[in-house]
Chain A
Amino acid sequence: MDETVAEFIKRTILKIPMTKMMTVLKAWDFLSENQLQTVNFRKRKESLAQDLVLLCEENGVSLNDAALLDIICEDIDLSDMEQFKSSFKKILQRALKNVTVTFRDTEENAVWIRIAWGTQYRKPNQYKPAYVMYYSQTPYAFISFSQLRSNTPLLCQALTIASKHHQIVKMDLRSRYLDSLKAIVFKQYNQNFETHNSATHLQERRLGLDINMDSRIIHENRIEKDRVHRVTQEIFGDYSQPRLEFAQYKLETKFKSDLNGGILAEREEPLRCLVKFSSPHLLEALKSLASAGIADAPLSPLLTCIPSKGMNYFKIKDK
């Protein structure tokens, strides 16, 4: 066997942390169960590596096999995830004696967590769980808080510690659609989501335009229409928008009025006012406002910044 291959395998094995060793070797599936049993995993890593290399030589390891081992080392993140899960569960169980924590792995290094809350003296209430979707390779978690709100700080704390971060920040972004939240947070919204649909949609749109080109219908404000369309495209793009149901603006600003006087004008304290927009698909609705003649184009940046800022709950104060 090539000296370089042996050296490569030895160095790769030395890079693997001991906690991952068995997992990696099993996943590699190059050494048989019997062979692995003959190895003493309690030895120092240096001599363990040498033993493993000898076994590999017996099996006639090739460069390809070595490369595969390397890939597996990169790929297997299992123990990081396992560590997170056990740490998370321990933290919650230490704080509350009665809590049910369930995990479900999904693709893309993500895990679904379900937590049913109890108290020191009461069994967990299985009907009001909280759900968390955690992406281990990113600093983001998506949480659906349970109705038992008092446990929220504990949940946040457990997530922070288990994922080895310093603090957790609650984003002002809420929606019922996890995919849309993911799209906004991971900045994936400015591509055509479902490419199949977008192809047919484009076709339909072109067809629609042709039908409207009935020469007996004349649009007097063609120029303005085109401008509105162009501005809307520039701001919202050609892709389908992520799905949000609300945008909320909490205003704490001084009342400004064109009319002189009036009860609300000239007050020192800011006016407190809440404006809430709701829609089955808010961003698509905002996109169609200008062309429907309901609003001027371009729309206020307070509305159009929602996906780029990743917020749909705003607090507005005077500068």
Chain B
Amino acid sequence: MSVLRPQDQLPGLNAATILLVGTDDALLQQLADAMLKEDCASTLKVHLAQSLPLPSNVNRPRIDLIVFVVNLHSKYSLQNVEESLHHVDATFFLGKVGFLATGAGQDNHCSIHRNTVLRLAHTYRSPLFFCDLEVEGFRATMAQRLVRMLQICAGHVPGVSALNLLSLMRSSENPFLEDV
């Protein structure tokens, strides 16, 4: 199964699983640790992957949210994300995908322009977060947001669905980006 589909499996009881995809293993690990520190009523699980497709012969729970992490310092990390996106089914992009760009704080190390990731996120109609994962405070805040988002995507917050959240976040999007 080389394409991830959101409804391929039945959900686990009270389970919420997030998949973080990115080349920077150390940063993903730190973000995962930060997320698991949060107090959360749901049973959280974090899957870390360098790229998609995922190994196929593995038993894994239903994935509720995918976050693609792009390191603005590395063109390779963007390329990796772009290639991985082909292995995600279109229905995932109804609120269950997010992009996270890290490294914007060190401008002189950035080899990817902000607009590149903005355009990428816009193309896939998904939210984009900028967060320097190397800074502990920012990482903790980001972890909190992701946990909240994950709970909604897993359906654990009554009255709010992933699609609701997406349209709520859409209205505060960059007004200068023209709709294609």
What residues of chain A have their CB less than 8 Å away from a CB belonging to chain B? 211-212, 214, 216-221, 223-225, 291-294
Contacts and interface: CB of A to CB of B under 8 A. Distances in A.
Central interface residue in A211, A219, A221, A293, by most chain B CB within 10 Å: A293
A297 B145 CA distance: 35
23 contacts: A216-B43, A216-B44, A216-B45, A216-B46, A217-B29, A217-B33, A218-B48, A219-B47, A220-B19, A220-B48, A220-B49, A220-B50, A220-B55, A220-B60, A221-B55, A225-B25, A291-B25, A292-B24, A292-B25, A292-B26, A293-B50, A294-B23, A294-B74
A217 B46 contact: yes
A224 B54 CA distance: 12
Nearest to A225: B25
Contacts of A218: 45-48, 60
Interface residues of B, number: 26
Contacts of B54: 220
Give chain B's interface secondary structure class.
mixed
Interface of B: 19, 22-26, 29, 32-33, 36, 43-51, 54-55, 58, 60, 74, 76-77
Contacts of B36: 214, 216-217
Contacts of B29: 212, 217
B82 to A, nearest CB: 15
Given A217-B29, A220-B19, 17 more contacts: A214-B33, A217-B36, A217-B46, A217-B47, A218-B46, A219-B48, A220-B54, A220-B60, A221-B50, A221-B51, A221-B55, A291-B25, A292-B24, A293-B22, A293-B25, A293-B76, A294-B74
Contacts of A211: 33
A221 B51 CA distance: 8
The 10 closest A-B pairs by CB, nearest first: A293-B23, A220-B49, A221-B50, A218-B47, A217-B32, A217-B46, A220-B54, A219-B48, A216-B45, A293-B25
Given A214-B33, A293-B23, A294-B23, A224 B74 contact: no
A179 B66 CA distance: 48
B11 to A, nearest CB: 17
B50 A224 contact: yes
A221 B46 contact: no
Nearest to B45: A216
Contacts of A293: 22-25, 50, 76-77
Contacts of A216: 36, 43-46
A286 to B, nearest CB: 16
A64 B61 CA distance: 79
Central interface residue in A212, A220, A292, by most chain B CB within 10 Å: A220
Contacts of B76: 293-294
A224 B25 CA distance: 12
Contacts of B77: 293
A217 B49 CA distance: 11
Contacts of B48: 217-221
Contacts of A220: 19, 47-50, 54-55, 58, 60
Contacts of B46: 216-218
B87 to A, nearest CB: 12
Contacts of A219: 47-49
A47 B102 CA distance: 86
Central interface residue in A211, A221, A223, A224, by most chain B CB within 10 Å: A221
A223 B50 CA distance: 11
Contacts of A291: 25
A212 B26 CA distance: 11
A220 B87 CA distance: 15
A217 B47 CA distance: 6
